[in-house]
Structure 1
Amino acid sequence: MDAMPTVELIRDALATVIDPEIRRPITEIGMVRSVDVDGDLAVIGIDLTTQGCPMRERITSDVEAAARTVSGVEDVRIELGVMSEEQRLELRSTLRGGKPEPIIQFTQPGNMTRIYAVASGKGGVGKSTVTANLAAAMAQDGFKVGVLDADIFGFSIPGMLGVEGQPTRLDDMLLPPIAHEVKAVSIGMFVPEGQPVVWRGPMLHRAIEQFLADVFWGDLDVLLLDLPPGTGDIAISVAQLLPHAEILVVTTPQSAAAGVAERAGAIAVQTSQSVVGVVENMAWLEQADGTRLEVFGSGGGQTVAGRLSKTLGTDVPLLGQVPLDITAREAGDAGTPVVISDPDSPAASALRAVARTLTARQRGLAGRSLGVTPVKR
């Protein structure tokens, strides 16, 4: 005869249910309102974070499945409710590490997130494609990854990652959508399709600041920012808001593109940032006979890396050369990065190699607490 289920056993089982958006156990974030047992019936009260919670059905099914793993539970009844204002305030404070007001977590002492700002001198070099695929490749390798689409005017990350809908609002906090295990936020999630964003400098700065402070990113290993082309307002704002972000320059082999890309990296001189390396996109087109057709010339990536090394006085490596690959374009249009949809393709292999180089790097000591207390004499 099976043992009778208890409230404690059911609560232990519910601790295995992870909120799909917050990515924490529902027992930890105050969603489990009550647990009652009546014979073989488990009655569970769940408070959703918002009235229109998009994950209502998934949470309900996960809670029921977890409860049924407890020996003796034959039936489950779930009573859904919504968190009160006080509960949401407590939850927001918990997610912010005990701080009631929004903060940029990536600038806090002890934060270990590696931040890469993906930049280019001009548009059309595949910067967003590189960003989306690096994020997906890192997530596949088990890293917790976020992407901030900082290209306010030319946003494309939602489409490339296949993200639909808006972030869930928890009062003044946003819970970012997750696609391919990558958390992503973009202004494109808030404007109607086809509508342009017509903003000037101060509004651009405020938008980036809100995406960094108001979004619950969680404990990320890597944050990637897809910057707009050039060295304008947003590049400067990112340097101010995330002074420890490292710049990843994307270029094509063409000499004209390389010259412009060099300026995108050289902004590090003014902002006191570092350049982690250069990625050469559209490096060549592989032919059926195994030869390479250099559609846009050759050497641009190495040229940019060499010139930036000289300008910055430090080694700026060419991290990878990504060939022209029709599967990469098709994958981006379909909302599934090529590193996932066609992992053995030439472009996917090159992008995954760059991603692994970036995640293998050790984070510097800048901004980190050393655990040392000054002694007064």
Structure 2
Amino acid sequence: MDEIRAMLQYAAGVASPIRLQMRSPSGDISVHEIVGSSCLIGRSDDCDISIPDDTVAFRHVYLQAIGNRLAVVPLPSAAGVQCVGADFTGWFGVDHRMQICGYTLQLLDTHWATDGDLPSPTAFRPRDEQRPEYGLLPTVDLELLNTSARGRKWPINRVITLLGRDEACRITVVDDRISRAHAAFLLLPTGLWVLDLLARVGIKVGGQDCRCALLADSVELQIGPYKLAARYPQVEAAVAAQAQQLQYGTEFLTKQNKVLLVETYQETLIVSPSPNAVAVLFQDVYVESSRVTDLMTRKYKNLVIDLDVVGTAISPHVVEALASLCRNTNGTAVLSGGHPDLHSSIKNSTLKRVWKHYPNRIEAITALASPKS
């Protein structure tokens, strides 16, 4: 599993793999374990679960885990999908059976919740209400950046929104270059994520091909010939407030930080992500990291990321912000301290792989002060 998919799994609050048993029409049984928060089932060899049957669509069903719930999202197909069992409301549980063209799938674990009180992610409207099971979801608009319809916006008012050529998709693009179900947008407290549904031409985020990505404010998403960007009104308001406060100076403003705590030692800036860095909105991280970057590039040579106070978990947004700070330092950036469980959770991240780590901040600062650093 790549770094971004691991970040998505963390952002979705998924603690365990998706384990499914599949029975073929002839009675053959296979067991599938998907590490991550999503699962594609279909005829394609690239699906997480491939069903070699011509009556099955290329990609037939999309499963998305959110916390301890697993949503079933049927994709456009001739045969459809049936979920039978106790009061199926869109959440797949151990008491349900999913039937696809004679194949039957069932979950092997009992921890998946299926209570009908929570609307499914394709039905829930986060702009109209909030539910603790989904967390505090940001307001996001998807804006078209090119073509004659440039400037058109789609308000994201579902937790899962499909984009594709088929009219069953909430965002329908009538263009043969777009697959019937091309991409899925997943709204989480960390922001809007996009997932490629094995479309013919895939997706690009920031000019790079990817299977999934977090759409930061104004970063370009390309789907076929169409260019889009996520717009977060909260970020625009926060940036405006930040600009209004610049008269006080960046060093003063960093003292207001709640997530990225700042200290200094001679020519070294020390940034300590706080325990608040576990459940944090991306716009708050954006504002605080902008303050730190400005202060660092103007006044300090080296950077120490001290991981001692954050605890055992950290938001993907904060990890991304810390890596960005390391990249932008004028001199040398290093890491220090941190709980073993924290290091295990970020072991595949750029932050952990690229920059050197010291047991504590004293050793880190001493190393930076030596002529070899």
TM over 0.5, shorter chain: no
Which category of TM-score, normalised to the shorter sequence, fits these structures? Answer: under 0.3
> Which is bigger in relative contact order (C-alpha 8 A, separation at least 6)?
1
Q: Compare the two structures and name the one with the higher strand fraction.
A: 2
Q: Compare the two structures and name the one with the higher helix fraction.
A: 1
TM-score (normalizing by structure 1): 0.25
TM-score (normalizing by structure 2): 0.25
